[in-house]
Amino acid sequence: MKAERIESILATHPFFEGLAAEHLAVVADCATSVRFAAGEKIFHEGEEAQSFYLIRHGRVAIDTHAPQRGGLTVQTIGEGEILGWSWMTPPYRWRFDARAVDLVRAIALDGRCLREKCEADHDLGYELLKRLTLVIVRRLEATRLQLLDIYGHQV
């Protein structure tokens, strides 16, 4: 896919909404278009976290497993959302598995490339960090609600 096309896709994805054009161009240098078939593993727990993904189509399950309980899906991520932030902080290893529930189309952003760009341009780094922090905060809030098990014991 051409760089200009990727740049325009990035510009319309909610995660990058409103990002300055010069920053979008820098981010686009680290981006490639990817596709995963239904059921395909996107990454495994423990592997090096090389990328993060802007989901454009389809749904991704974040899985883990527990002894005697088998596989567990802890969250699904859909169109317009992002997948993965382990690329951002050491030791750059995935903490969960990710699996395409159905056909998934996404933009993959190379984590190492992005880290280098962010080190070189702290304005870009701060902007990305703010956006990622918002995602992390919202998922933390959602996880806390999940932990309350609100439907099991109406509260």
Partner 1 sequence: MAIRSEATGSLSDPMTPRIFVVERFRRELHDTFTLELTPGPGMAPIVYRPGQFNMLYAMGVGEAPISISGDPAQTGQLIHTIRSVGAVTEALGRLRSGDALGLRGPYGRPWPVEAAAGNDVLIIAGGIGLAPLRPAIYCLLAERHRYGRVALLYGARSPREILYRRQLERWRARFDIEVEVTVDRAAPEWRGSVGVVTTLLPRVQFDPDHTTVMICGPEVMMRHVARDLIQRGVAEEQIHLSMERNMKCAIGFCGHCQYGPKFICRDGPVFDFHSIGGLFGVREI
Give the binding site for partner 1 (CB under 8 A). 14, 59, 61-63, 70-76, 78-81, 99, 101-102, 141-142, 145-146, 148-152, 154-155
- In the bound state with partner 1, the residue whose beta carbon lies nearer, of 59 and 105, is 59
Residues in the chain: 155
Helix, strand, coil share (%) of the chain residues, nearest 5: 35, 30, 35
- Residue 97: CB minimum distance to partner 1, A: 9
Beta-bridge partner residues of 110: 51
- Residue 32: CB minimum distance to partner 1, A: 25
Residue written as token pair 């999940």: 146
Quote the CA–CA distance of 105 and 86 in Å, as a whole number: 20
- Residue 22: CB minimum distance to partner 1, A: 27
Assess contact for 115 and 26: CB atoms under 8 A: no
- In the bound state with partner 1, the residue whose beta carbon lies nearer, of 2 and 153, is 153
- In the bound state with partner 1, the residue whose beta carbon lies nearer, of 61 and 118, is 61
- Residue 62: CB minimum distance to partner 1, A: 8
Assess contact for 62 and 134: CB atoms under 8 A: no
> Quick check: helix, strand or coil at residue 22?
helix
- In the bound state with partner 1, the residue whose beta carbon lies nearer, of 72 and 120, is 72
